[in-house]
Amino acid sequence: MFSVGSQLPLTVGMEGSSDDHPIIIPELSMNMFELFLSVAYNNWKPEGPTHDDVLDLLRFSNKFMSQKARDVAINHLHERRFQHKPYELLALCLEFSISKFFVPAFRRLVEFRIHDIPGPVRRRLGFEVWNAFVDLKELLDEHNRIVACEEPPIVTHSPYCTDNTACFIDWRQLWWNSMARFLLDGRNPQKFHEAIERFQELGPEIGRVNLECWKMLLQTVKNATAFCLAFDLVEETAQQLSAALITEPAPMLTKAELDTLGLPSHEEIL
DSSP per residue, 11-76: -TT-TTSBTTBPEEETT--HHHHHHHHHHHHT---TT---HHHHHHHHHHHHHHT-HHHHHHHHHH
**Are the beta carbons of 192 and 230 closer than 8 angstroms?**
yes
**Are the beta carbons of 86 and 108 closer than 8 angstroms?**
yes
Contacts of 264 (CB under 8 A, 6+ apart): 258
d(CA 179, CA 193): 11
Provide the pLDDT for residue 168: 94
Q: Would you give the DSSP letter of residue 208?
A: T
Provide the pLDDT for residue 255: 54
Provide the pLDDT for residue 44: 72
Provide the pLDDT for residue 35: 77
Provide the pLDDT for residue 270: 38
Q: Would you give the DSSP letter of residue 3?
A: E
Provide the pLDDT for residue 267: 45
Q: Would you give the DSSP letter of residue 113?
A: -
Provide the pLDDT for residue 125: 95
- pLDDT one digit per residue (tens) for the chain, 270 residues: 445 554 555 455 666 667 666 666 666 677 777 777 777 777 777 667 788 888 888 888 888 788 888 888 999 899 999 999 999 999 999 999 999 999 999 999 999 989 999 999 999 999 999 999 999 999 999 998 998 888 888 989 999 999 999 999 999 999 999 999 999 987 888 888 888 888 888 876 788 999 999 999 988 888 867 778 888 999 999 999 999 999 988 766 555 544 555 545 544 443
Half-sphere exposure for 225 (CA within 13 Å, toward CB): 7
Beta bridge partners of residue 107, listed in sequence order: none
Provide the strand spans (E) within the chain.
Answer: 2-4, 23-25
Q: State whether the Cα torsion 89-94-95-97 is positive or negative.
A: positive
Amino acid occupying residue 266 = H
Q: Could you give the angle at the alpha carbon of 255 between the alpha carbons of 254 and 257, nearest 5°?
A: 65
pTM: predicted TM-score of the whole model, two decimal places: 0.74
**Are the beta carbons of 72 and 39 closer than 8 angstroms?**
yes
